Amino acid sequence: MKAKGEKLKSVFKPTKKKVVIIVLILILVIGGISYFNAKAKAAMAAAEPMYNTASVERKDLKKEVSVNGTIGSADKKSVEADITNVEVTAVNVKVGDHVKAGDVICTFDSTSIDNKMENTKESANIAEQKSNQAISNAQASYNNAVADKNTNASRNAQAVTDTYNGYQTAIAQRDGANIELQAAQQNYDANIEQAKADLATAQGKVETAQSVYNTDNSAANNQALEAANVELSTAQARVDELTKAVSDAQAKLSEMQTNLNTKEAAYKDAVQKQQDTAVTDDRTVAQQDSALDSAKLDAQSVNSGEVAQTIDDLQKQKDACTVVAPIDGTITSLKVEVGEIYKGNEIAVIQNEEELLVNATVDQYTISDITEGMNTIIKTDTTGDLEMQGTLSFVSPVPKSDIDSNGKTTVTTDYEIQADFAEQNERLRLGMNAKTTILIAEAKNVLSVPGSCIQTDGDRKFVTVLVDEATGETKDIDVTTGLETDYDVEVKGKGLEEGMQVIIPDASAEIGTETEDAIYG
């Protein structure tokens, strides 16, 4: 045993040669392991994609929303009457009947209404006759006042004209007398001195002839004295003539001035009378016109007052006793019978089955994206794959309200919409289910990428394009975006072309996300 142990000891006893061999073996093992690890990693790297990408495609984009609804009538009316507590005397239709607008649905008993209307009309007729007579009288008074005003105006205008003409004539006469006075005064001033001198000379001659005659009473001296007296009389007559001409002219001027004053006063009186009469007549006409207006207002009050309102109300009640169809269509509900008392409830429902539409609702998240006039595609079970064209004809501005059996109103967050058919389909019926797809927006023949390819840096938008698949080289291209659908986005950018591969940054190969395409290194 000792020998065997010593032998083993000698085998494992370290020697310089053994140590070198062991070191070489370890180096080879570690190198081999490293080599095979590197090869494995290289193989794995070669098998894994560097980027996940999507293609830039040119296509038509559509943003749509689909809602479920039901087929309804474009023209549906609930028939009610504006009267209550009246007996149904006749029902002229039954469920399923086709009616035209204006056809009588049913009638109510109007006997009491007719009696009230007859009595009220009789009272109204009497009141109307009285008011018409009052208007006639007021009209006559007004006409008389206007006629008197016109007559007085004509007379007073003539009086003003006549007195004015008289006044102007008096002015001319006064001016003429003044001219005559001036002429007489000028003649007097020009000749009075000579006439007085001639008078003095004549007086001297008379005195001389008288003295001679007193001395010698001869016939010759008497004749000379008489001749001197004749000359004196002539001279005195000349002086008197000149003086009288001035005096007469002054008297005439005074007379003409007095006449002028009289004519002026008459003219002013005529003008004042014209004005005063016009004021009085205008006041009278205005009073009569006011009286006429008052009579007309009273008549209107009779015709449009309480009695007239009563007649109008009774007529409406009588009209309401005949219930007519408001539209063409089919009676789909009838709730009255002959002999019962109508309490104001619904009488019938009329629906036009020739003009159908789709009633639907959209939620509060979608309502802001749709507007009236948008195009729709409508499909139903009965028409199979047929896509029926339509248009949104109504988009409610307020949420839908539901009323329960207790009359409580609950406001929802859904909004009612309606879509009209471009063409009616004979297979459609009221109440059928219908799926409506609304085209919100579309862009034709545009470049697009998946929305996940769009990257942002502040306000900047860009996509990363793979330039070289072998090296993994990329470049960024700034883009502007347009229409966005649930998956694709319309893009425009300098250098961006159809077929380019853009990187999907949120689905890189490093985290193993599945994408459209994978580029391997």
More confident residue, 311 or 520: 311
In a shared domain, residues 326 and 360: no
492: left (phi over 0), alpha (psi -120 to 50) or beta: beta
Q: Sign (positive/negative) of CA torsion 500, 505, 508, 514? A: negative
The band of 495, judged by pLDDT with boundaries at 50, 70 and 90, is very high
Number of domains in the chain: 4
* Residue written as token pair 């009695």: 307
Q: Which of 271, 306, 341 is the last residue of a domain?
A: 306
CA contacts within 13 A on the Cβ side of 283: 6
Least confident range from 196-205, 233-242, 301-310: namely 301-310
- 103 domain-assigned: yes
Q: Give the highest mean pLDDT range of 35-39, 236-240, 306-310, 328-332.
A: 236-240
- From the list 434, 414, 419, 329, the residue with the least C-alpha distance to 77 is 329
pLDDT tens track for 249-306: 999 999 999 999 999 999 999 999 999 999 999 999 999 999 989 988 887 776 666 7
CATH number at 342 reads 2.40.50.100
In a shared domain, residues 485 and 519: yes
In a shared domain, residues 446 and 494: yes
Q: Is pLDDT above 60 for 469?
A: yes
Q: What is the pLDDT of residue 128?
A: 81
- Name the pTM for this structure: 0.46
- The range of the structural domain enclosing residue 325 comes to 75-108+321-354
In a shared domain, residues 189 and 64: no
The band of 5, judged by pLDDT with boundaries at 50, 70 and 90, is very low
Output the CA torsion 164→169→170→172 (10° steps): 130
- 421 domain-assigned: yes
355: left (phi over 0), alpha (psi -120 to 50) or beta: beta
Q: Give the highest mean pLDDT range of 113-117, 167-171, 350-354.
A: 167-171
pLDDT tens track for 56-90: 999 999 999 999 999 999 888 999 999 999 999 99
Spatial separation of the C-alpha atoms in residues 503 and 519, rounded to whole Å: 10
Q: What is the pLDDT of residue 506?
A: 67
Spatial separation of the C-alpha atoms in residues 392 and 436, rounded to whole Å: 10
- 347 domain-assigned: yes
- β-strand pairing of 49-55 with 517-520: antiparallel
Least confident range from 231-240, 391-400, 499-508: namely 499-508
SS3 503: strand
Q: Is pLDDT above 80 for 511?
A: no
Q: What is the pLDDT of residue 389?
A: 96
Q: What is the pLDDT of residue 512?
A: 37
- 398 domain-assigned: yes
Q: Which percentage of the chain shows pLDDT scores above 90?
A: 70
Spatial separation of the C-alpha atoms in residues 71 and 359, rounded to whole Å: 6
86 burial via Cβ count (<10 Å: 0-12, 13-18, 19+): buried
Q: What is the pLDDT of residue 456?
A: 95
Mean pLDDT score of the chain, rounded to an integer?
A: 87
In a shared domain, residues 15 and 60: no
Q: Which of 306, 335, 368 is the last residue of a domain?
A: 306
Q: Which of 274, 306, 338 is the last residue of a domain?
A: 306
- 315 domain-assigned: no
CB–CB of 228/173 below 8 Å? no
In a shared domain, residues 196 and 61: no
Q: Is pLDDT above 90 for 236?
A: yes
CATH number at 179 reads 1.10.287
More confident residue, 38 or 141: 141
Mean pLDDT of 177-191: 94
In a shared domain, residues 14 and 61: no
pLDDT tens track for 187-201: 999 999 999 999 999
CB–CB of 352/326 below 8 Å? no
- From the list 87, 146, 487, 463, the residue with the least C-alpha distance to 285 is 146
- 454 domain-assigned: yes
Angle at 245 between CA 240 and CA 251, to 5 degrees: 120
CB–CB of 502/516 below 8 Å? no
Per the structure block, which two tokens stand in for 69? 């609804």
The band of 20, judged by pLDDT with boundaries at 50, 70 and 90, is low
Spatial separation of the C-alpha atoms in residues 247 and 181, rounded to whole Å: 9
In a shared domain, residues 359 and 502: yes
- 36 domain-assigned: yes
Q: What is the pLDDT of residue 40?
A: 46
In a shared domain, residues 402 and 362: yes
In a shared domain, residues 337 and 244: no
Least confident range from 137-141, 207-211, 405-409: namely 405-409
In a shared domain, residues 465 and 486: yes
- 517 domain-assigned: yes
Burial 111-143 (b: 16+ CB within 10 A, else e): eebeebbeebbeebeebbeebeebbeebeebbe
In a shared domain, residues 253 and 222: yes
Q: Is pLDDT above 70 for 45?
A: no
